[in-house]
Structure 1
């Protein structure tokens, strides 16, 4: 279990490094798309360095009928 936790921690640290390099933490825009893209980049971890460039677009939520 310690090895798994260590691998997970390293995976997430690499993901945070990728997000920092892409300046995702420097903008003050806290829209759904920017926060989601940052989170997905962190979770993708080392995959960011082999060509994965996750982006998330948020659609407007449907409005309830009247």
Structure 2
């Protein structure tokens, strides 16, 4: 059980690190919310501490499927 607790704490720290990186890149202050913006934020948060090692997770083109008519 102790190993599970440690993994949980590490996962939270990992994701918080990614959220801080996204904040530092001003992703949360963008007034225009697009699919690419949301994808970039999500990738930055998931990549976590690797952002500080030079990984720049960014989505440039995002196409959502349209509902059928």
The ranges of structure 1 where at least 4 consecutive aligned residues each deviate by more than 6 angstroms after the TM superposition are: none
When normalised by structure 1's length, the TM-score is 0.86
Query: Which residue matches 2:32?
Result: 29
- Asked if residue 45 in structure 1 is aligned to residue 48 in structure 2, the reply is yes
- The partner residue of 1:13 within 16, 21, 27 is 16
Q: Compute the RMSD of aligned alpha carbons.
A: 1.6
Distance 1:13-1:61 versus aligned 2 partners, 3 A rule? closer
The count of aligned residue pairs is 63
Task: Give the gaps of 5 or more residues in structure 1.
Answer: none
Task: Give the gaps of 5 or more residues in structure 2.
Answer: none
Measured after TM superposition, the shift of residue 41 of structure 1 is 0.2
When normalised by structure 2's length, the TM-score is 0.82
